[in-house]
Structure 1
């Protein structure tokens, strides 16, 4: 006999996400008018629902240091000059069909593809295709303080600031309608890889000029126009983001008509939404959920070894943590094997370095400190903190590929430190944005992590630990070491791989000695989707395009 209550409950679960889509036009903020209700009742045959993690504050990844905008949305709305091969990690052509580099390594000239169409929306109808003016505009906005758009939307470009991009770029020159040259102040081996990251998007200069005349400059970042496979159709904060298919996409229109991001936090959790078919795709499920998912024939679980790291940043501005003995003691007190077993369920790798083992610059002979609570106790006693040290740790609760359960990780670290006499207070927040440090300025420790934007080791070391990154706000350890920075500069200038490796090994030796951060683990990125979906891609850098996703039933 059918259980009526159970049927009602299942029906409610199935309909709730889609009901929110139908009611979206009554929300606080809608970019365009809602579609007719009967059109949305059949959404699963024309698109799919993706369970997101956070509500974006902008749709322009240039203004962010990660999160949903840079990790996922940017690859749908925008294109870059280059993309990264997911296997070799080498730059490949995208909007730029080819490029040349001068003998001195200071000039990079890009030839753009022709016939690239910008998206057409309710708020903008392009009159021309992409050309070199759009490339010049997109990057000069970042590097020129007097540019009319430089200070718009806060005027901070954290990822580019951490790379010292404004000091690296001497000029960007329009050669002709489809040729542009970047002139650098010094050679930089990571330059091409950096242009392939999700932050290096190409905007529409024509759209920007229209907004400038109307005096609505902020719309450039909140109502974006790009050349990607989908355009932004609707946004309701804390509820949903709807993307629609860009029919004029240069690589061919996407099979799916729309993608809806469920970013609501009310009601059931993301796993329950997946199981009840409110969501079709769930990125970064918690490790403890994997057995439930893998036992269900309706879903397919994908795994990608990630270029990532979970770590504790030690606030080197705090008087207690200026003492290297205290920093080393904290490192020695943490049982990483316990973390791998209890948080990652055997799916992660113990971190000896901020670089993952798959990096070509990883130092396999690292002398990094390992678990030794007895030595930690001795160091604390030597520093005068024998069972009298109280510290505060700020924790973002948002699960990420590098840390599937931050709350549990924090509690285990708390227990480890308590065992050596350090009393640790934990402060939680749902999500972490490095540029907004008002809530963490007084914290001693910060539990966080990093997903690489490309395969170059510079992408870990410079944005997280350089002096430039400290000024930009991404270096949350507030650590600056001139010798470390000099090694990064030397590595970026030489074309000899063995020399680059040696410089990066020496830089890692400094980190092992100074302990500004404590690497914990490298995680595996999991993604689960309904078995009817095909064409979903994964990348070691966390970015993914939905341009090839289709539904088979």
Structure 2
């Protein structure tokens, strides 16, 4: 018996010693780690995807919602009450700045939603100008009447009306569950801002250190309730230039390089030391046209800009034809996609006529806002902006390209300061409302995520109607009508539906690219 135990230990100890940290080259610094305040995927990847969990999760392989912090839930017959039963003995992370005295309970769920929904909650005002963009754009303060604790392991959500998307919404990063105990500690100490800098969650990793524009280091959470990571720590090396990210993974300085350029993917295919992981993305790249700015408030002008745009040249130059041309807000394999809608044709002559009809026969001046560094949704921002600028010039529109750091760009764009804006959206769970409510509703104008700043009562009614019933046929009818309005009003210049990809070292296994742009490193092994 002693020999058998010793042999087992000899096998186990080397295996543990072989665990290595995982280094990932990422494209940008996060806005912070309090994910509810922000709407960028970069921030979600750095916070919700590694530090936190939500009540439920979306299983991308099975294409269904699965338990997470709640191991089961019930819905009342009238669709107005959702009761979630929490997984027992889930521990919050123990860090150098917080030591929890209890496991996750209903108080944490009530706090996490209360701060977003209740204006009387002290944390609601603390968040400041950034607000709660996802909760606001989806109308959750109006939808959710109450979140109440039934007992320590049970929490009840009461809705003001039935909503077919409610559980799907809870899979999103902003629905992460925070420690009420930690929040109270910060509030009493007069340090509420530290919630964004020193996060505490229930996720597989916990924050060790962060140097802005350089590196984020995470330790493995030893008390994680789920499948523990197979790596010995996680490092995000912030590398804005996509080509440099590709070079770093080739040199072994990173094991995974996110958001590579198509040209870097082509080079990596011939390298035996590297692997390419990719999947069609549930994402749309677009240029938002600010309808609250003259002359973009005129549909004829917006249509003219669409018809001036040479999408074929753009997709070849920027995406190397790895993205398909976009027409509607979401990719064409999404249920309810209206395939009867045809893209605006490339017709500069007709575009000039429309401008003249709108009172701008000699064109006008505008700006094109774009981020400095590439991403899945915009691999080469500078080249794309210059192509659009040249297309506009052909119809007399003089556009100044403004390159703005990502965090500042998002901040100013949410305030509606842009004219035209290169942007993209990644859905979270395959539901069309994941695009409609945050990007086209009137609530989303208030929260700032509706980058076209367009509020239309008829469109709002269609979005609401689509959420109100679980009947997919009825929802499809509402969403097809909504797509017609969005297209006819020319709120965007649709660009493309990209492919999500990453370059990894050949000795990395267990990593999968998410069509939603989310990151899960728990199954990754570095040999």
Q: Is 1:226 paired with 2:198? A: no
Deviation, structure 1 residue 52: 1.6
The whole-number CA distance in structure 1 between the counterparts of 2:155 and 2:415 is 42
The whole-number CA distance in structure 1 between the counterparts of 2:359 and 2:273 is 58
Q: Deviations over 1:343-373 (max 9, x none)?
A: 1112101001112112102111114422222
Matches within 5 A, 1:404-443: 404-432=379-407, 436-437=411-412, 441-443=416-418
The whole-number CA distance in structure 1 between the counterparts of 2:411 and 2:417 is 13
Corresponding residue for residue 5 of structure 2: none
Using the size of structure 1 for normalisation, the TM-score is 0.88
Structure 2 residue corresponding to 1:382, chosen from 347, 352, 357: 357
The whole-number CA distance in structure 2 between the counterparts of 1:249 and 1:378 is 62
The alignment partner of 2:365 has SS state of strand
Corresponding residue for residue 203 of structure 1: 178
Gap change, CA 1:266 and 1:412, over 3 Å in 2: closer
Q: Deviations over 1:314-368 (max 9, x none)?
A: 1111221122111111111111111221111121010011121121021111144
Corresponding residue for residue 148 of structure 1: 122
Corresponding residue for residue 6 of structure 1: none
The whole-number CA distance in structure 1 between the counterparts of 2:60 and 2:293 is 40
Gap change, CA 1:141 and 1:451, over 3 Å in 2: same
Corresponding residue for residue 116 of structure 1: 90
Q: Is 1:59 paired with 2:33? A: yes
Q: Kindly indicate whether the alpha-carbon contact (under 8 Å) linking 1:153 and 1:221 is maintained by their aligned counterparts in 2.
A: no
Deviation, structure 1 residue 67: 3.4
Q: Kindly indicate whether the alpha-carbon contact (under 8 Å) linking 1:391 and 1:423 is maintained by their aligned counterparts in 2.
A: yes
The whole-number CA distance in structure 2 between the counterparts of 1:265 and 1:499 is 44
The whole-number CA distance in structure 1 between the counterparts of 2:512 and 2:112 is 27
Deviation, structure 1 residue 78: 0.5
Greater Cα shift, 201-210 or 378-387: 378-387
Q: Is 1:524 paired with 2:513? A: no
Corresponding residue for residue 484 of structure 1: 459
Structure 2 residue corresponding to 1:274, chosen from 244, 249, 253: 249
Gap change, CA 1:430 and 1:295, over 3 Å in 2: farther
The alignment partner of 1:448 has SS state of strand
Q: Kindly indicate whether the alpha-carbon contact (under 8 Å) linking 1:90 and 1:193 is maintained by their aligned counterparts in 2.
A: no
Q: Deviations over 1:365-392 (max 9, x none)?
A: 1144222222212212222323332221
Gap change, CA 1:165 and 1:496, over 3 Å in 2: same
Q: Deviations over 1:184-217 (max 9, x none)?
A: 1111111111100111101111212222222222
Gap change, CA 1:471 and 1:233, over 3 Å in 2: same
Corresponding residue for residue 481 of structure 2: 506
Structure 1 residue corresponding to 2:433, chosen from 458, 464, 468: 458
Gap change, CA 1:390 and 1:537, over 3 Å in 2: same
Corresponding residue for residue 519 of structure 2: 544
Structure 2 residue corresponding to 1:346, chosen from 321, 338, 342: 321
Deviation, structure 1 residue 473: 0.9
Deviation, structure 1 residue 301: 0.6
Gap change, CA 1:267 and 1:139, over 3 Å in 2: closer
Deviation, structure 1 residue 439: 10
Q: Deviations over 1:153-196 (max 9, x none)?
A: 42611111111111111000111111111001111111111100
The whole-number CA distance in structure 2 between the counterparts of 1:442 and 1:221 is 25
Q: Kindly indicate whether the alpha-carbon contact (under 8 Å) linking 1:367 and 1:509 is maintained by their aligned counterparts in 2.
A: no
Corresponding residue for residue 109 of structure 2: 135
Gap change, CA 1:439 and 1:157, over 3 Å in 2: closer
Gap change, CA 1:383 and 1:88, over 3 Å in 2: farther
Matches within 5 A, 1:154-193: 154=128, 156-193=131-168
Gap change, CA 1:414 and 1:171, over 3 Å in 2: same
Gap change, CA 1:265 and 1:360, over 3 Å in 2: closer
The whole-number CA distance in structure 1 between the counterparts of 2:150 and 2:456 is 40
Corresponding residue for residue 304 of structure 1: 279
Corresponding residue for residue 448 of structure 2: 473
The whole-number CA distance in structure 2 between the counterparts of 1:267 and 1:336 is 23
The whole-number CA distance in structure 1 between the counterparts of 2:199 and 2:52 is 9
The alignment partner of 2:223 has SS state of coil
Runs of 4+ with deviation above 3 angstroms: 264-268, 432-435, 438-443
The whole-number CA distance in structure 2 between the counterparts of 1:391 and 1:435 is 19
The whole-number CA distance in structure 1 between the counterparts of 2:255 and 2:41 is 20
The alignment partner of 1:84 has SS state of strand
Corresponding residue for residue 305 of structure 2: 330
Deviation, structure 1 residue 45: 5.7
The alignment partner of 1:424 has SS state of strand
Q: Kindly indicate whether the alpha-carbon contact (under 8 Å) linking 1:118 and 1:226 is maintained by their aligned counterparts in 2.
A: yes
The whole-number CA distance in structure 2 between the counterparts of 1:392 and 1:120 is 48
Q: Deviations over 1:290-327 (max 9, x none)?
A: 11111111111111111111111111112211221111
Q: How many residues align?
A: 510
Corresponding residue for residue 9 of structure 2: none
5+ long unaligned stretches in structure 2? 1-16
Using the size of structure 2 for normalisation, the TM-score is 0.93
